[in-house]
Amino acid sequence: MATRELTPQDFETLLEFSKTLAQTAGKIIVEGSNAILNQDQGNVDEKKNSVDLVTQWDVKVEEHVKSEVAKTWPDFHFIGEETFSSGSEKPSLTDAPTFCVDPIDGTTNFVHGFPYACISIGMFYKKQPLLGVIYNPFLNEMYYGLKGSGSYVSFPYLDKPLRLPIASQRSLPSLSQALIGVEWGSDRRLSVMQQKATSFLRLAGDKDEIPNARMAHSLRSLGSAALNYGQIARGGLDIYWEVGCWPWDVCAGIVIALEAGCYVTGSKNFFKAHRHEEPTLMTDWTELIWGRKYIVIRGIADTPSEKGRDAQRRLVQDFYDSVEEWDAI
């Protein structure tokens, strides 16, 4: 079957559809949170271990999204976290329009009533990220973006959405001035925990006492990859790095970040091989998106001596010089 050709008007329609869908899904997420916290219903199950959680509400939200997509765009492909987790084979990126959805990103936060959980709706088209919507229904905060059209954030107290980043791009001379997003993740093997701890120690530790330390301003863990991307796009975080995420965690965030002037890349080897390529011009994201190793850095202002993009690449290199890397499972 020939790939459906989408028009710019289709892109706009899809973005509005995704925004509305995120809001209706958000109502289910809030309903589920209330049910779990009131212990009326909502069993919490485990995937690979006791910290990799899934609830019946993850499944309900994904079923709702998948159903709405099928009714409106029946010929589109669909990649969902819970569909994949239930035993589906790893899907390949094709030229076909493909929704890529995490129904509840930040399930641990969701279970505990910590209000940093969201739905993440992304789309690939011709093997490239096309659009993204990230909606946190607990704070009524939405990030969204469309390739070539910018990215935005909306809050309840704003008259209209703000284009990202929400303030002028700033310089970032070194990692020592950075606020860095990291996560402990669900892979708690001893070897991995030791490498994570070593990496975090080097990023935050005193340069006078710890070899290879950068002594960043601080480290932050929101517990949601998608919301970390949102914070990078708006300029609240300077860098976010994680090993072990999946395409549905980052697809929407990648679009939103790139449209805000951020730099996105993959593993150490991927960055080394593609360092001088412009991410917004990549024609096939398969290797990066399924590599499960991601780093994103906020937009940086040009200075008389260095372009912002060059500064981003320099800082990613310095970051990777300071941290460990391991294989995700």
Q: Is 102 a known active-site residue?
A: yes
Selection from 69, 72, 71 nearest residue 103 by Cα: 69
Q: Is 249 annotated as contributing to ligand binding?
A: yes
Q: Given the residues 249, 259, 289, 297, select the one marked as catalytic.
A: 249
Q: Is 62 a known active-site residue?
A: no
- Note the helical H segments in 38-138: 56-72, 81-85, 107-112
Q: Is 318 a known active-site residue?
A: no
Contact between 243 and 328 (Cβ < 8 Å): yes
Q: Given the residues 58, 62, 81, 141, select the one marked as catalytic.
A: 81
Question: Phi/psi at 159 (nearest 5 deg)?
Answer: -70, -35
Q: Given the residues 82, 105, 141, 183, select the one marked as catalytic.
A: 105
Q: Given the residues 83, 98, 107, 265, select the one marked as catalytic.
A: 107
Q: Is 105 annotated as contributing to ligand binding?
A: yes
Q: Is 58 a known active-site residue?
A: no
Q: Is 105 a known active-site residue?
A: yes
β strands within the chain, DSSP E: 44-46, 53-55, 77-80, 98-105, 118-125, 128-136, 141-146, 151-154, 162-163, 179-181, 218-220, 239-243, 263-265, 293-297
Q: Is 95 annotated as contributing to ligand binding?
A: no
Distance CA 251, CA 228 (A): 13
Place of tokens 């320099």: 314
What is the torsional sign of CA 43, 49, 51, 57?
A: negative
Q: Given the residues 62, 82, 102, 183, select the one marked as catalytic.
A: 102
Q: Is 83 a known active-site residue?
A: no
Distance CA 59, CA 25 (A): 11
Q: Which residues are annotated as a binding site?
A: 81, 102, 104-105, 249
Catalytic residues: 81, 102, 104-105, 107, 249
Q: Which positions make up the binding site for Mg(2+)?
A: 81, 102, 104-105, 249
